[in-house]
Structure 1
Amino acid sequence: MKKKLKWGVLSTAKIAREKVIPAMANSDLYEIYGIASRNLDRAKETAKSLGIPKAYGSYDELINDPEIDVIYNPLPNDMHVSYTLKCIEAGKHVLCEKPMALNNEEIDGLITARDKFNVKVGEAFMVASNPQWLKARELVRSGYLGKIKAVQGFFSYFNDNKDNIRNIEEMGGGGVWDIGCYPVFTSRFVLDKEPGRLVSMLEFDPQFRTDKVGSVLLDFHEIQMTFTISTQLTAYQRMLFFGEKKIMEIRIPFNAPSDQPNEIYIHEGDFSKANAEKIVLPISNQYTQQAIDFSNAVLEDKEVPVSLENTKANTKVLQAIFQSSSSEKWVNII
């Protein structure tokens, strides 16, 4: 019989409280055993509301608890690397929220530590465990759409709260790090290719100094991928993959609902007719599946859904977006 893993959660972040922890309830593979905050009362309050057995008044206390097997790290972006490293050095497996790092070179140290301490470490791109993205990848790789020549994406929301960490430059805020990572990651995931170069244009908020609107053109070697993101536009998201035979449309690609089936639409190009093929996926929660996949990687000593090597490749692209916008030139991704 498999050992039931004990997960600990670093911080009472909103994504942990509202999405990840509720999605991880009632599993035969694992339990949420503890949650930490720098404020013990807040940790206790959150633990009580979510049915978590143990609360900690510091992150280090949770990290060093021998009862904890796996740690979920949803701390602010600028704290991801340092606390993930602490977890690794304590012998814990770690699932860290995206973006794992704000500089791809920092990931090298995590890879070295991961291998030294023989633990599993992954980036929390829940889309990698979502059935709709697994199906999308299958459709593209099978040739069902024909040869893919172009990909388009869009992801936006509106948030102009100066106190929100997404709008704080020093904490790794801005659209590229928060949501630009998704069209980059899913394109790489589906195409199974790495872009060779890119050119971008970013508009920065004069008060926050974070990027609020951005457009990017990625060269995937015979496949052109474009996307636009914004933290100050009406909420919208979409991903389109254009093949020589058909077009694949994913209408809710990133915040996929957990209370209704996910749907993929296949078009043959004649939009004057209602001829879209609809592929309906079973109802699922991508955060639940992410936890299952990561737990199984630990229990069965398998590869995690999103490895540090994958993370490093994605981070290189995100860094290049800033470099291109600053130089107003194409940037090679090395």
Structure 2
Amino acid sequence: MSATKKIRWGVLSTAKIGREKVLPGIQGSETGIVAAIASRGLERAQEVAGQLGIEKAYGSYEDLLADPDIDAIYNPLPNHMHVPLTLQAAAAGKHVLCEKPIALNAEEARQLLSRSDDRLIAEAFMVRAHPQWIRAREIVRSEQLGELKAIQAFFSYFNDDPGNIRNNAEIGGGALLDIGCYTMLAGRYFFDAEPQRVVSLIDRDPEFGTDRITSAMLDFGQGRQLNFTVSTQLTAYQRLQLVGTKKRLELVIPFNAPLGGEVSLRLDDGSLLGGQSAETETFAPCNQYSEMADVFGRAILGEEGLPYGVEDAIQNMAILDALFKSAESGGWVSVG
């Protein structure tokens, strides 16, 4: 594919995250355009296509996948449909950016290894493309924090709607798969390492059966620890602290960086309590979904390698599996 040609994206479903965040992000990217969208009903697809200025609308996912003009697929379907539709898209010759979590478990995710090697598949963790995460890791690697030993994360929102898919345990609902994947990922990203063992505590909703509050500790070896709590039934809040032997780094809005708004990092040597000694680094407004689309787009165009592919996504699921297993067993579980 020529680097002068824009990637033509097709979108499976009219899901809210696609309509409000990822599709506008792709449309604002340097490498791609949203050329088609599909829904289970043609009328709904046409409605959203009209709202977002998308050229083609399809009344089935299969019809979109059969379109020879589509280069890449964005898959924001419910969690239990991620692997089946991603495999169908890859078999149809499309590259696929799939929403997180990429599967319900690692065993299912390993099915993605069967795709053709020339079809790229990646998990849609937009945070890894945001300048604040990239800059934060640069600070960690520069050893300004000293030795990074502790990461603390919290991510929550309140949603007790029985009709919401996030509250359906059978199709992958619950806090750990929905947002715990982000807090877990922070450990892998900033430690530049894999957890050796994990332990977790889960409180499940008695009606939904989903994990509504999950807390965990991940042991990365050499004294490095990630601690996090995630919840679907607490007031909305998020934080991410990277604490080293010399300084502490705080990502103020780490996961849902506001589109069109500034974000900042706070670097603190602890000389004054209450964060009064912190130095703030502010980032200009940025669309992390556009950045993510361009990372994937440049890999498709052959301009850069794909930094995180199928194997990375499988590892994410293996860690999440271990966290669920730990809650069931009540003890530490090794991550192999």
Q: TM-score range by the shorter chain?
A: over 0.9
271-280 vs 189-198, greater mean Cα deviation: 271-280
- SS in structure 1 at match of 2:209: coil
Letter in 1 for 2:49: A
- Distance (whole Å) between structure 2 residues aligned to residue 303 and residue 226 of structure 1: 31
In 2 relative to 1, CA 321–299 (structure 1 residues): closer, same or farther, beyond 3 Å?
same
In 2 relative to 1, CA 273–10 (structure 1 residues): closer, same or farther, beyond 3 Å?
closer
Give the conservation status (yes or no) of the 8 Å contact 1:20–1:287.
yes
TM-score (norm 2): 0.96
- Distance (whole Å) between structure 1 residues aligned to residue 242 and residue 30 of structure 2: 37
- SS in structure 2 at match of 1:306: coil
| Same amino acid, percent of matched pairs | 50
- Please report how far the alpha carbon of residue 164 of structure 1 lies from its aligned counterpart in structure 2 after TM superposition: 0.2
- Distance (whole Å) between structure 2 residues aligned to residue 241 and residue 70 of structure 1: 35
- Distance (whole Å) between structure 1 residues aligned to residue 208 and residue 276 of structure 2: 45
- Distance (whole Å) between structure 2 residues aligned to residue 272 and residue 56 of structure 1: 55
Give the conservation status (yes or no) of the 8 Å contact 2:75–2:98.
yes
Letter in 2 for 1:55: A
Give the conservation status (yes or no) of the 8 Å contact 2:29–2:291.
no
Give the conservation status (yes or no) of the 8 Å contact 1:246–1:267.
yes
In 2 relative to 1, CA 305–257 (structure 1 residues): closer, same or farther, beyond 3 Å?
farther
- Please report how far the alpha carbon of residue 84 of structure 1 lies from its aligned counterpart in structure 2 after TM superposition: 0.3
Aligned to 1:34: 36
Give the conservation status (yes or no) of the 8 Å contact 1:141–1:191.
no
Aligned to 2:58: 56
Equivalent residue runs for 1:189-228 within 5 Å: 189-221=189-221, 222-228=223-229
- Please report how far the alpha carbon of residue 108 of structure 1 lies from its aligned counterpart in structure 2 after TM superposition: 2.4
Aligned to 2:288: 286
- Distance (whole Å) between structure 2 residues aligned to residue 319 and residue 174 of structure 1: 13
- SS in structure 2 at match of 1:24: helix
- Please report how far the alpha carbon of residue 25 of structure 1 lies from its aligned counterpart in structure 2 after TM superposition: 2.1
Give the conservation status (yes or no) of the 8 Å contact 2:39–2:61.
yes
TM-score (norm 1): 0.97
Letter in 2 for 1:333: V
Give the conservation status (yes or no) of the 8 Å contact 1:156–1:234.
yes
For residue 274 of structure 1, the aligned residue among 273, 276, 291 is 276
- Please report how far the alpha carbon of residue 191 of structure 1 lies from its aligned counterpart in structure 2 after TM superposition: 1.2
Letter in 2 for 1:332: S
Aligned to 1:6: 8
Letter in 1 for 2:142: S
In 2 relative to 1, CA 294–331 (structure 1 residues): closer, same or farther, beyond 3 Å?
same
- Distance (whole Å) between structure 2 residues aligned to residue 251 and residue 273 of structure 1: 12
After superposition, the CA RMSD in angstroms is: 1.2
Aligned to 2:239: 238
Aligned to 1:300: 302
Give the conservation status (yes or no) of the 8 Å contact 1:36–1:43.
yes
Give the conservation status (yes or no) of the 8 Å contact 2:29–2:290.
no
Unmatched segments (≥5 aa) in structure 1: none
Letter in 1 for 2:261: Q
Aligned to 1:332: 334
Letter in 2 for 1:129: A
- Distance (whole Å) between structure 2 residues aligned to residue 83 and residue 264 of structure 1: 38
Unmatched segments (≥5 aa) in structure 2: none
- Distance (whole Å) between structure 2 residues aligned to residue 283 and residue 325 of structure 1: 39
Which deviations, in whole Å up to 9, do the C-alpha atoms of 1:44-90 show, x marking residues without a partner? Answer: 00000100000000001101110100000000000000000001111
- SS in structure 1 at match of 2:115: helix
- Please report how far the alpha carbon of residue 272 of structure 1 lies from its aligned counterpart in structure 2 after TM superposition: 5.2
Equivalent residue runs for 1:1-334 within 5 Å: 2-115=4-117, 118-221=118-221, 222-269=223-270, 270-271=272-273, 274-300=276-302, 302-334=304-336
- Distance (whole Å) between structure 1 residues aligned to residue 99 and residue 275 of structure 2: 42
In 2 relative to 1, CA 66–98 (structure 1 residues): closer, same or farther, beyond 3 Å?
same
- Distance (whole Å) between structure 1 residues aligned to residue 226 and residue 29 of structure 2: 38
313-322 vs 294-303, greater mean Cα deviation: 294-303
- Distance (whole Å) between structure 1 residues aligned to residue 109 and residue 286 of structure 2: 31
Give the conservation status (yes or no) of the 8 Å contact 1:114–1:121.
no
- Distance (whole Å) between structure 2 residues aligned to residue 178 and residue 274 of structure 1: 34
